[in-house]
């Protein structure tokens, strides 16, 4: 089996690292062994993405919502602005590609760019088959925190959207992404934001507790908290909740569901996305045993340690995100 010609050169100059070509658009570069928490996290996302069918209403609703949010998270005014940006980037890495819809989006917006779509979960062959008609996407089954098969500075843009906090050592993973980013080029990254103390304590509990649950038990938990979120959302009146600084609880005008959600318990519900996408959003939170959260200072310290310039910074209750530029060579 031979890798498609456009992607052969991306790997041909690699200094070290084993890789196996599985299909013309799929290559495996997985490590020989992973720590147990990483194996559990990889399996959780394999199970998560396996719940979605390409072309289903739940999948299309999720893709539409995620595209809209991506523009906001990384400072692109609209899809045309993103397209113009991507067209200036010959080689792009989608680090943590999942079901591959963002990789396909990038490929559509910039047909002349080569898109490398990397992910650790075992559903990547299914993703590669679904998007096999894109001649400018190559799927790489790997750990994005360890990519010796990619040379220093080989990418013109790296997008790591909603992924890095699920890696074993996010700061080390970020350093690897920066290593692979070209001089004067950008890396986009999103991290979970630390929330109120009651929510953080409960989240830590579930991070430990979820290790003992199988997929069906995690799905049952996700359905239960989704139903709680749906029920709370029926109280649609906004109240002016007080701040409780000693517990990091943030008040303000919001519904009961939002107040509970941000400060006490992840119970996501979005009527427009529908039940399945809402359940899987909650599953995404409770299932992976690796899910680090950051304060704003911790996030910006990680960026500063890498010596990057901030091009766009975004924050909201859920996250911190931004697009950051590697210094140009002298």
Q: What angle do CA 10, 11, 13 make, to 5 degrees?
A: 90
> Has residue 70 been placed in a domain?
yes
In a shared domain, residues 87 and 166: yes
- Per-residue pLDDT reduced to its tens digit, 147-206: 998 989 999 999 999 999 999 999 999 999 999 999 999 999 999 999 999 999 999 998
> Has residue 56 been placed in a domain?
yes
In a shared domain, residues 202 and 54: no
The pLDDT of residue 87: 98
The pLDDT of residue 1: 52
- Per-residue pLDDT reduced to its tens digit, 83-133: 999 999 999 999 999 999 999 999 999 999 999 999 999 889 999 999 999
> Has residue 258 been placed in a domain?
yes
Task: Quote the number of domains for the chain.
Answer: 2
Closest CA to 290 of 215, 224, 203, 216: 203
Q: What percent of the chain has pLDDT over 90?
A: 74
In a shared domain, residues 152 and 27: yes
- Per-residue pLDDT reduced to its tens digit, 259-310: 999 999 999 999 988 999 899 999 989 988 888 999 999 999 999 999 999 9
In a shared domain, residues 135 and 207: no
In a shared domain, residues 35 and 170: yes
> Which two structure tokens, joined as six digits, stand for 16?
């070290």
Tally of CB atoms within 10 A around 181: 24
Q: For residues 115 and 104, what is the distance between their CA atoms, to the nearest angstrom? A: 9
The pLDDT of residue 3: 67
> Has residue 330 been placed in a domain?
no
Give pTM, 2 decimals: 0.92
In a shared domain, residues 110 and 227: no
Q: Which residue has the higher pLDDT, 134 or 329?
A: 134
Domain membership of residue 224 as a residue range: 197-286
> Has residue 75 been placed in a domain?
yes
In a shared domain, residues 185 and 206: no
Instruction: Say if residue 12's pLDDT is above 70.
Output: no
In a shared domain, residues 105 and 166: yes
Tell me what the pLDDT averaged over the chain comes to.
92
In a shared domain, residues 24 and 69: yes
In a shared domain, residues 83 and 204: no
In a shared domain, residues 155 and 208: no
> Has residue 24 been placed in a domain?
yes
Q: Which residue has the higher pLDDT, 45 or 63?
A: 63
Any idea what the CATH number is for the domain that residue 92 is in?
Answer: 3.40.50.150
Instruction: Say if residue 18's pLDDT is above 80.
Output: no
In a shared domain, residues 178 and 218: no
> Has residue 50 been placed in a domain?
yes
Instruction: Say if residue 51's pLDDT is above 50.
Output: yes
The pLDDT of residue 15: 47
Write 45-49 long-range contacts (CB < 8 A, 24+): 45/98, 45/119, 45/120, 45/121, 45/123, 45/166, 45/287, 45/288, 46/121, 46/122, 46/123, 47/215, 47/218, 47/287, 48/280, 48/283, 48/284, 48/287, 49/98, 49/99, 49/121, 49/123, 49/127
Cβ contacts of 123 within 8 Å, gap of 6 or more: 45, 46, 49, 50, 99
Confidence class for position 2, pLDDT limits 50, 70, 90: low
Q: For residues 91 and 27, what is the distance between their CA atoms, to the nearest angstrom? A: 17
- Sign of the C-alpha dihedral computed for residues 247, 253, 256 and 260 taken in this order: negative
> Has residue 140 been placed in a domain?
yes
The pLDDT of residue 81: 98
């Amino acid at each position: 089996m031979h890798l498609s010609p456009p992607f052969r050169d991306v790997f041909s100059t690699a200094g070290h690292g084993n890789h196996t070509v599985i299909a013309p658009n799929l290559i495996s570069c997985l490590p020989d062994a992973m720590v147990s928490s990483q194996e559990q996290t990889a399996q959780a996302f394999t199970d998560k993405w396996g719940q979605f069918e390409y072309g289903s209403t739940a999948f299309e609703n999720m893709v539409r919502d995620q595209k809209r949010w991506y523009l906001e998270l990384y400072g692109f005014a609209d899809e045309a602005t993103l397209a113009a940006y991507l067209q200036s980037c010959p080689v792009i890495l989608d680090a943590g590609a999942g079901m591959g819809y963002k990789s396909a989006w990038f490929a559509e917006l910039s047909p002349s760019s080569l898109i490398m779509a990397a992910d650790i979960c075992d559903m990547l062959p299914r993703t590669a088959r679904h998007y096999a008609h894109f001649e400018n996407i190559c799927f790489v089954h790997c750990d994005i925190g360890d990519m010796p098969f990619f040379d220093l500075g080989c990418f013109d843009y790296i997008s790591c959207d909603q992924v890095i906090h699920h890696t074993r050592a996010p700061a080390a993973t970020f350093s690897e992404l920066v290593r692979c980013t070209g001089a004067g080029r950008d890396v986009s990254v999103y991290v979970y934001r630390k929330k109120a103390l009651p929510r953080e304590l409960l989240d830590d509990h579930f991070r430990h507790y979820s290790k003992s649950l199988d997929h069906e038990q995690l799905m049952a938990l996700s359905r239960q908290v989704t139903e709680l979120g749906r029920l709370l959302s029926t109280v649609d009146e906004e109240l002016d909740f007080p701040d409780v600084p000693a517990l990091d609880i943030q008040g303000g005008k919001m519904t009961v569901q939002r107040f509970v959600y941000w400060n006490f318990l992840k119970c996501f519900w979005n009527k427009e996305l529908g039940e399945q996408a809402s359940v899987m959003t909650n599953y995404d939170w409770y299932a992976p045993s690796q899910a680090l959260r950051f304060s704003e200072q911790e996030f910006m310290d990680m960026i500063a340690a890498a010596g990057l310039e901030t091009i766009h910074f975004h924050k909201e209750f859920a996250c911190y995100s931004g697009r950051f530029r590697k210094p140009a060579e002298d």
